[in-house]
């Protein structure tokens, strides 16, 4: 048993922990969990907890009981809205085969490998997210209805902004879980909100993104509301996206804006974004957002205009500040971060520069305009297949092809987002 595991067991005994949630995600980034009693944790650290994925969408044909969950001690957090007597502890877990090997469809492990490869090349990346979401009212039975919480607009305050207490409760809960929000505000749409997070390690940023969605939905529900991360919940209002911020270090020293490394990283993402869009915008509804209310629709790059697809600051004296604006919250952050980090590193290794067309929106390549188009572009991506592995890549692509053929145009509430 490791020292970290021993410290966790001591913490459990000293803090009245009675329940432990073992969390993981399916290949689409939807959080799942198994709850166990705290006294089982020592055994689970050593042997794992049995996992039946036979009923989970996208998880292939793994035989019943053939996989196991192993908690990551570094991901430990208490769920602060649960009772303080008999407290609930939550871990993110690695999914492994009975012999201890990695499960091919565990996207968290794929991201871990990607981060390690990047580190071996002398680079470390930090990621932060800004995520938008809507708050809807609910009916007497707690079901969401097509009524926004408020009619506020960008940066409004109460009484126009009726979401401030939800954001406050959520930010306090996140902080208690060790997740650091930087700011929050009312966004452009009625009932629309945004919370911005501090830069952190890539794996932690992915874990924190999953936790963030869970916290927002939980706090909203406790207040009789429904939180939607759907990219375009209602036509005619601003869509909700996820802005992903990147910074880099090389040999433990900052990579600066305008450096060959920063430009290469940007060029790598711009060069691959078309074939990766399926994984950044993975549901039918994603493509109702593009091209309206300043949501990007083309592969554009700017050092001046933060409204383009990719922004890279031109402050040469400052550490790299790069932001990607096309993704939305339906993504699986482990898949998305692995692909984007790999694309950026490819651009550095090739010494690439951003395509001049990307600086001119009139000449820039268009992003895929539909889920079907995105799936066709992704299907040809040997790059994405190489990062994700054939088994996960094929399972994801197959599911998205089916969705593109059968999706309803009028979806409003989707638990994946």
Task: Report pLDDT for 88.
Answer: 95
In a domain, 416, yes or no: no
Please check whether residues 308 and 220 belong to one and the same domain.
yes
Please check whether residues 125 and 94 belong to one and the same domain.
no
Task: Report pLDDT for 409.
Answer: 52
Task: Tell me if 375 sits within 8 A of 396, measured CB to CB.
Answer: no
Give me the number of domains the chain comprises. Answer: 2
In a domain, 206, yes or no: yes
Write down which residue in 87, 105, 123 finishes a domain. 105
**Calpha distance 394→270 (Å, rounded):** 24
DSSP letters spanning 360-379? -TTTSPBPP-SHHHHHHHHH
**Calpha distance 346→6 (Å, rounded):** 39
Length of the chain equals 417
User: Are β-strands 123-138 and 31-37 bridged in parallel, bridged antiparallel, or unpaired?
Assistant: unpaired
Task: Report pLDDT for 416.
Answer: 58
Task: Report pLDDT for 86.
Answer: 87
**Calpha distance 258→397 (Å, rounded):** 36
Closest by alpha carbon to 341, among 248, 208, 275?
248
Please check whether residues 206 and 235 belong to one and the same domain.
yes
CATH classification at residue 71: 3.10.20.70
Please check whether residues 286 and 255 belong to one and the same domain.
yes
**Calpha distance 298→8 (Å, rounded):** 47
Task: Report pLDDT for 360.
Answer: 86
Q: Is 167 helix (H, G, I), strand (E, B) or coil?
A: helix
Task: Tell me if 124 sits within 8 A of 231, measured CB to CB.
Answer: no
Please check whether residues 250 and 271 belong to one and the same domain.
yes
In a domain, 356, yes or no: yes
pLDDT tens per residue, range 24-83: 999 999 999 999 999 999 999 999 999 988 778 777 666 655 799 999 999 999 999 887
How far does Cα 238 stand from its chain's mean position? 20
In a domain, 415, yes or no: no
Task: Report pLDDT for 241.
Answer: 97
Tokens found for residue 57: 């969408």
The residue segments making up the domain with residue 187 are 113-406
Please check whether residues 117 and 97 belong to one and the same domain.
no
Assessment of whether the complete model's pTM goes beyond 0.85 = yes
In a domain, 45, yes or no: yes
Please check whether residues 396 and 325 belong to one and the same domain.
yes
The pLDDT > 70 percentage for the chain reads: 96
Please check whether residues 166 and 283 belong to one and the same domain.
yes
In a domain, 413, yes or no: no
Please check whether residues 121 and 59 belong to one and the same domain.
no
Please check whether residues 250 and 379 belong to one and the same domain.
yes
Task: Report pLDDT for 28.
Answer: 96
Please check whether residues 64 and 156 belong to one and the same domain.
no
Residues of the chain with pLDDT under 50: 410
- What stretch of H or E contains 344? helix 333-350
Tokens found for residue 372: 């079907």
In a domain, 411, yes or no: no
Write down which residue in 105, 124, 142 finishes a domain. 105
Tokens found for residue 250: 């090389």
Cβ neighbours of residue 183 closer than 8 Å, sequence gap 6 or more: 195, 196
In a domain, 264, yes or no: yes
Cβ neighbours of residue 282 closer than 8 Å, sequence gap 6 or more: 28, 330, 331, 332, 371, 396, 400
Write down which residue in 105, 127, 145 finishes a domain. 105
CATH classification at residue 229: 3.30.590.10
23 beta partners: 33, 92
Please check whether residues 88 and 177 belong to one and the same domain.
no
Task: Tell me if 335 sits within 8 A of 385, measured CB to CB.
Answer: no
């Amino acid at each position: 048993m490791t020292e970290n595991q021993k410290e966790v067991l001591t913490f459990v005994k000293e803090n009245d922990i009675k329940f432990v949630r073992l969390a993981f995600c399916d290949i689409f980034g939807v959080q799942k969990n198994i709850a166990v009693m705290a006294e089982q944790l020592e055994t689970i650290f050593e042997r794992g907890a049995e996992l039946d994925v036979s009923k989970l969408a996208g998880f292939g044909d793994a035989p019943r009981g053939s996989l196991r969950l192993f908690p990551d001690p570094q991901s430990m957090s208490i769920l602060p809205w649960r009772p303080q007597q008999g407290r609930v502890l939550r871990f993110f877990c690695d999914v492994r085969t009975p012999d201890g090997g990695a499960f091919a469809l565990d996207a968290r492990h794929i991201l871990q490998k990607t981060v390690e490869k990047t580190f071996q090349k002398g680079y470390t990346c930090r990621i932060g997210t800004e995520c938008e979401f809507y708050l809807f009212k609910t009916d007497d039975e707690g079901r969401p209805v097509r009524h926004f919480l408020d009619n506020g607009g960008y940066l409004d305050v109460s009484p126009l902004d009726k979401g401030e207490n939800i954001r406050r409760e959520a930010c306090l809960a996140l902080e208690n879980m060790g997740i650091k929000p930087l700011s929050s505000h009312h966004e452009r749409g009625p009932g629309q909100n945004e919370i911005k997070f501090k830069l952190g390690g890539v794996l932690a940023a992915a874990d924190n993104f999953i936790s963030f969605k869970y916290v927002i939905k939980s706090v909203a529900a406790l207040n009789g509301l429904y939180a939607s991360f759907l990219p375009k919940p209602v036509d005619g209002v601003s869509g909700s996206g996820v802005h992903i911020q990147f910074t880099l270090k090389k040999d433990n020293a900052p990579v600066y804006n305008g450096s060959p490394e920063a430009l290469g990283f940007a060029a790598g993402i711009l060069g691959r974004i078309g074939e990766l869009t399926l994984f950044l915008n993975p549901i039918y509804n994603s493509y109702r957002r593009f091209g309206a209310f300043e949501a990007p629709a083309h592969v554009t790059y700017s050092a001046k205009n933060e409204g383009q697809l990719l922004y890279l600051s031109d402050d040469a004296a400052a550490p790299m500040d790069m932001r990607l604006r096309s993704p939305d919250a339906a993504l699986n952050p482990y898949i998305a971060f692995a692909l984007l980090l790999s694309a950026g590193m490819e651009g550095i290794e090739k010494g690439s520069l951003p395509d001049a067309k990307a600086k001119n929106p009139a000449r820039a390549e268009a992003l895929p305009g539909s889920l079907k188009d995105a799936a066709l572009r992704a299907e040809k991506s040997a790059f994405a297949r190489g990062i994700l592995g054939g088994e996960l890549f094929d399972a994801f692509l197959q599911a998205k092809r089916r969705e593109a053929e059968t999706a309803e145009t009028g979806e409003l509430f989707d638990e994946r987002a």
